[in-house]
Amino acid sequence: MLMRTDPFRELDRLAQQFLNTSGTWSQPSAMPMDAYREGDEYVIALDLPGVSADSIDIDVERNMLTVKAERRPVSKADDVQMELSERPLGVFSRQVMLADTLDTERIKADYDAGVLTLRVPIAERAKPRKITVGAGSAHKEISG
């Protein structure tokens, strides 16, 4: 039901980790993702540790789901000297192509403990239906 749109995304993510580059709005870094089906909905979990909820932007255009987030530097006092900085800052982005069988009008988003969880219900028209067959002159009936 979910399709990757860029087969080189993982390679880009690894290269960015190796080069320790930060994302910008024009060239965002990738964010790790898990996707799985749970009952009648698909769940997409994206790792965004250290990102504030107000910097997360989620858009759906047709069947393309886009998530962008920005991790900003933490304000420090003037007398603080940074000794080590390994946590990436900047912009992170992920695009996921959603199948036509998913209901993009009813996506729910929750953010807890650095994980953005999106729940995308399966559209009613895509769920299996039972079709009853009448005998003789009875009509056929579709039940949902």
What's the Rg (C-alpha) of the chain? 21
Name the average pLDDT for the chain. Answer: 81
Four-way CATH pick for 2-78+85-143: 2.60.40.790, 1.20.120.350, 3.40.50.10860, 2.40.110.10 = 2.60.40.790
Burial class (CB in 10 A: 0-12, 13-18, 19+), 18: exposed
Q: Which of 30-34, 59-63, 69-73 has the highest mean pLDDT?
A: 59-63
Residue 102 binned pLDDT confidence (cut-offs 50, 70, 90): very high
Helix (H) or strand (E) holding 59: strand 56-61
- pLDDT value at 66 more than 90: yes
Note the pLDDT tens digit of each residue in 122-132. 987 766 778 88
Q: What is the pLDDT of residue 128?
A: 73
- Give pLDDT, residue 76: 77
Query: Residue ranges per domain, the chain?
Result: 2-78+85-143
pLDDT at 125: 75
pTM, full prediction: 0.68
